[in-house]
């Protein structure tokens, strides 16, 4: 199979004797990191050193400031890589690969990988993976919150798999769920969260965890918890359990995302109050309740995703056309 250049991403599917990836520092200065050909025999995949050895050799002690907790169990990493289905020949986008544990699993599954890593210390360790899987790994040294993923991937759709740093996990999810136009550039999201956050993402109406995040997720994607992991699966061990959530985008959302954000901000902003009172915080909110056929005596946690979509459409029709501002989180 011949390799193809996808915009700014050159990811040939066939093996090459030369390893190369673009590494751009968070400070902005870019550099091409290329392993010279003919510099000795390439190591076999099975010869990759243990991840603990890689961490020690490259000084990759987890940084709390970067929200790092490394997952080192190869079996668990392989399970995560299997969640979206077969990846052979597919493009995978990874955020925060760190020492490359999940990256190894993705490459072993046959994926072509574009990974964004903010921690410069990890780039040499990731370069070693590129030598084992020539032409299938590209690393961008950058802040994932500032990356234009569609441009980075050159217009090719990708599966996103990531052990996300906890301090940016929810913000990244919301960003990926609110992409316009829709459908998004991502084919699926397979993401690690604190278990409490994962439960909020998939929560059902009437539950304590049900809120804005569950409504936004349900309106834009099908989501499920694929597996849970105890704290001792990570290094260092966090104080809470974690869970992997798998999301697949819906083909055609039924409500404009800015309207959904505005009405859920008002409704859940005072979740213990009846909707008639809570929706007064949003101009036109009470009128939108009537237009959507919803009783003002109900509370936010009792509304289904479909009812919130109807409320959002009613509010946009009466007040929010052209208003793309989101409500306060």
Q: How confident is the model at residue 76 (pLDDT cuts 50, 70, 90)?
A: very high
Residue 261, pLDDT above cutoff 50: yes
Mean pLDDT for all residues in the chain? 83
Q: What is the tens place of the pLDDT at every residue in 286-326?
A: 999 999 999 999 999 999 999 999 999 999 999 855 444 43
68 pLDDT higher than 80: no
The pLDDT score that the predictor gives to residue 91 is 98
pTM surpassing 0.85?
A: no
Structure confidence at residue 65 (pLDDT): 63
Residue 209 has pLDDT above 90, yes or no: yes
Which numeric CATH code is attached to 4-249?
Answer: 3.40.50.150
Q: Is the pLDDT of residue 184 over 70?
A: yes
> Which CATH architecture does the domain made up of 257-320 adopt?
Orthogonal Bundle (1.10)
Q: Provide CATH 1.10.8.100 ranges for the chain.
A: 257-320
Start-end ranges of CATH 3.40.50.150 in the chain? 4-249
pLDDT digits (tens, 9 = 90+) for 92-115: 999 999 899 999 999 999 999 999
- With bands split at pLDDT 50, 70 and 90, how would you rate the model's confidence at 66? low
Please give the residue that has the higher pLDDT: either 2 or 212. Answer: 212
Taking residues 136-151, what's their average pLDDT? 95
Average pLDDT over residues 80-93: 97
Nearest to 165 by CA among 92, 234, 221: 234
């Amino acid at each position: 199979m011949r390799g193809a250049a996808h915009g700014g991403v050159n990811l040939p599917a066939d093996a090459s004797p030369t390893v190369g990836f673009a590494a751009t520092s968070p400070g902005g200065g870019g550099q091409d990191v290329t392993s010279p050909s003919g510099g000795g025999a390439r190591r076999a995949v099975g010869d990759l050193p243990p991840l603990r050895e890689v961490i020690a050799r490259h000084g990759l002690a987890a940084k709390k400031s970067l929200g790092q907790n490394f997952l080192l169990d190869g079996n668990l990493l392989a399970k995560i890589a299997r969640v979206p289905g077969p990846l052979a020949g597919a493009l995978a986008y990874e955020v925060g690969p760190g020492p490359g544990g999940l990256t190894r699993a993705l490459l072993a599954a046959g994926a072509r990988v574009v990974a964004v890593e903010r921690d410069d210390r990890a780039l040499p360790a990731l370069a070693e993976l590129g030598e084992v899987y020539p032409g299938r790994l590209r690393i961008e040294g950058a802040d994932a919150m500032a990356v234009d993923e569609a441009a980075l991937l050159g217009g090719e759709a990708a599966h996103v798999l990531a052990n996300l740093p906890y301090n940016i996990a929810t913000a990244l999810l919301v960003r990926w769920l609110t992409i316009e136009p829709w459908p998004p550039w991502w084919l699926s999201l397979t993401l690690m969260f604190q278990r409490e956050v994962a439960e909020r993402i998939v929560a059902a109406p009437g539950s304590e965890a049900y809120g804005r995040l569950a409504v936004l997720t349900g309106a834009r994607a099908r989501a499920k918890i694929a597996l849970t992991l105890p704290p001792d699966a990570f290094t260092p061990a966090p104080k809470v359990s974690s869970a992997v959530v798998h999301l697949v985008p819906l083909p055609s959302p039924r409500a404009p995302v800015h309207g959904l954000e505005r009405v859920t901000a008002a409704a859940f902003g005072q979740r213990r109050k009846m909707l008639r009172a809570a929706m007064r915080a949003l101009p036109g909110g009470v009128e939108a309740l009537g237009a959507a056929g919803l009783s003002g005596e109900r509370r936010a946690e009792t509304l289904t995703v479909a009812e919130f979509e109807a409320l959002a459409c009613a509010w946009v029709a009466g007040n929010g056309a052209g208003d793309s501002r989101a409500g306060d989180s």
